[in-house]
Amino acid sequence: MMASPSGGEDGVPRALLEHAVAWSATNGLGMVVNDDKGLFTSTHLPFSLLPYALPADSYEQTKVLAPLFNTLVDRISRDGPWLKEVLKDVLAGDDFTSELVRIHETIEAEGGPRQPVCLAINRSDYMLHVPEDGVTAPHLLQVELNTIASSFGCMSALTARLHRHLLSRFGDEPSSAGKAIRDHAASVGIDTTTTTAAGDGGLGELIPQNPTLTALPKALAEAHKCYGKPDAVVLFVVQPGETNAVDQRLLEMNLWDHHGVRVVRMSLAEIEASGVLGEDGTLTVDGGAVEIAVVYFRAGYAPNDYFGRAEWDARLKLERSTAIKSPSIGYHLAGTKKVQQVLAQEGQVERFLGASESAAVRRCFAGLYSVGPDGDAAATADAVAHPDRYVLKPQREGGGNNLYGPELKSKLDAGGATDDELRSFVLMQRIFPKTQPAVMVNRGKCVSGDSISELGVYGTYLGGGEGKELLNEYAGYLVRTKMEGTDEGGVATGYAVLSSPIVGGRGKAS
């Protein structure tokens, strides 16, 4: 399957492609198409026709790391003085983080949170870095840790099922579809002759089960149970008029089907308009008829979710309430880029975790440096000399804000020693993953080529305060794949596609 700039079929067997798209339609792997046909038209979510090969030891490593990052986030969030010290540098250059810090301080000044229990649904994003020395084995480096609104978890469970289905259904079939699958597996280092004999599911068994669809609802349900009122609901904070919410809806449906927990969906502005905070901190909506047990943010992670004071007032109101937040303001702040950079400094992870845990976590840290006045001069100079080896990141979630190459160089050149705004940026070692062949499917059309993939790993955590871990679990994975050379990576926009790992220890080294 060769790359084709025209987006043609590239020799992908029609039967395989149509089967994959049909599977998506019958299994909910869809997204809303907001076009003139109305808001209720949808198509399949862009997916990789075949999986991404991940070394078995890297896959196992991510399952170990997830609960460690959960604990780390919880402990950071409860260390107000440390957070304040770390984030003071970004206040001048970053209005958004400043607002979050102000809410944190307001709550502290009011005597601390009324609800000590916090729910984290974290996602640590990694890439498999191939060291330039050509000797050291490829290993995972952390791109970032997301502590708010991590999306595509449920859709990733479906993508894994799709891949398991395709590999088991066609993997040992003497058809052109079967051959295409075996050729792909071989090209990414999976030995199909031994693995197809492994079990009933054939090659499909090499796609690990992805527990997101049970683990994420379970975490919300545990928080709901912890709140203690069966009739209270989980509030999903969503963007106004949000329609492409299939991933969120899957979570909502599973929460009802398996836990009997109800969900209401509201925007921050709607919450400000109708949410009422009782004297005891109880939060109700709908004229007092509905009590909120858990607040789950799927919006509110970026400046453009705050249209004015109403949204910030809503955020403060939620934070002041006794509802369990996912995330609390502390968890949100623990996920900032600045915190990530400071943790990479000597002794900082060790402040929160034991020696062996810290060592395990550090193994996935990329080089991370401060810039601007009092920044890391040596790293800054190296980045100016070799801009392609770094990426310059502002305190922003959601992608599309990072600076690369010439842009990075000129930003550092212009204000390296004097620009206060630069303090809010973080300079990061650029990760160079090995490419793999992929077939991206978007609206039923295939594009083949060399791709790179990013692995996201979910962790769920229910913290009771004072170190009490009421829940601390690995909660599944997400793989996003994009063609080599593409800087942007949105799945909904089709630049990236969802995939899943094929973990083939029996094959040749990948």
- Catalytically annotated residues: 123, 144, 146, 151, 337, 393, 397-398, 480
Nearer to a copy of itself, 93 or 204 (CB): 204
Q: Is there binding between residue 246 and a copy of itself (CB under 8 A)?
A: yes
Residue from 311, 323, 211, 210 nearest 270 by CA = 311
Among 60, 85, 193, 256, binds a copy of itself (CB under 8 A): 256
Q: Is there binding between residue 14 and a copy of itself (CB under 8 A)?
A: no
Q: Is there binding between residue 508 and a copy of itself (CB under 8 A)?
A: no
428 is in an annotated binding site: yes
Q: Find the shortest distance in angstroms from Cβ 124 to a copy of itself.
A: 26
Q: Find the shortest distance in angstroms from Cβ 245 to a copy of itself.
A: 7
DSSP code of 435? P
Q: Which range touches a copy of itself (CB under 8 A), out of 99-107, 243-251, 415-423, 476-484?
A: 243-251
Q: Is there binding between residue 444 and a copy of itself (CB under 8 A)?
A: yes
Nearer to a copy of itself, 443 or 508 (CB): 443
Question: To the nearest 10°, the Cα dihedral for 150, 253, 65, 68?
Answer: 90
Measured CA distances, 491 to 196, 297, 481 (Å) = 31, 20, 9
| DSSP structure string for 84-96 | HHHHGGGTTT-HH
Q: Is there binding between residue 182 and a copy of itself (CB under 8 A)?
A: no
Q: Find the shortest distance in angstroms from Cβ 179 to a copy of itself.
A: 12
Task: Find where tokens 């992670």 sit.
Answer: 301
Identity at 201, one-letter amino acid code: G
Residues 6+ apart with CB under 8 A from 219: 119, 121, 326, 460, 461, 462, 471, 473, 475
Measured CA distances, 195 to 16, 192, 201, 283, 419 (Å) = 21, 5, 10, 54, 56
Residue from 367, 382, 486 nearest 430 by CA = 367
Q: Find the shortest distance in angstroms from Cβ 246 to a copy of itself.
A: 5
Nearer to a copy of itself, 135 or 289 (CB): 289
146 CB neighbour count, 10 Å cutoff: 20
Please, are residues 23 and 56 in contact by the beta-carbon 8 Å criterion?
A: no
Q: Find the shortest distance in angstroms from Cβ 37 to a copy of itself.
A: 6
348 is in an annotated binding site: no
Structure tokens at 345: 């400094």
Among 9, 10, 33, 139, binds a copy of itself (CB under 8 A): 33
Among 174, 228, 308, 400, binds a copy of itself (CB under 8 A): 174
Measured CA distances, 474 to 61, 210, 336, 455 (Å) = 11, 10, 21, 14
Q: Give the C-alpha separation, 222 to 255, whole Å.
A: 11
Size of the site for a copy of itself (CB under 8 A): 42
Residue ranges of the binding site: 248, 337, 393-402, 404, 428-431, 454, 480, 482, 488
What residues form the annotated binding site for substrate? 248, 480
Footprint of a copy of itself on this chain (CB under 8 A)?
15, 21-23, 25-28, 30, 32-33, 35, 37-44, 165, 169, 173-175, 200, 245-246, 249-250, 252-253, 256-257, 260, 262, 264, 286, 289-290, 443-444
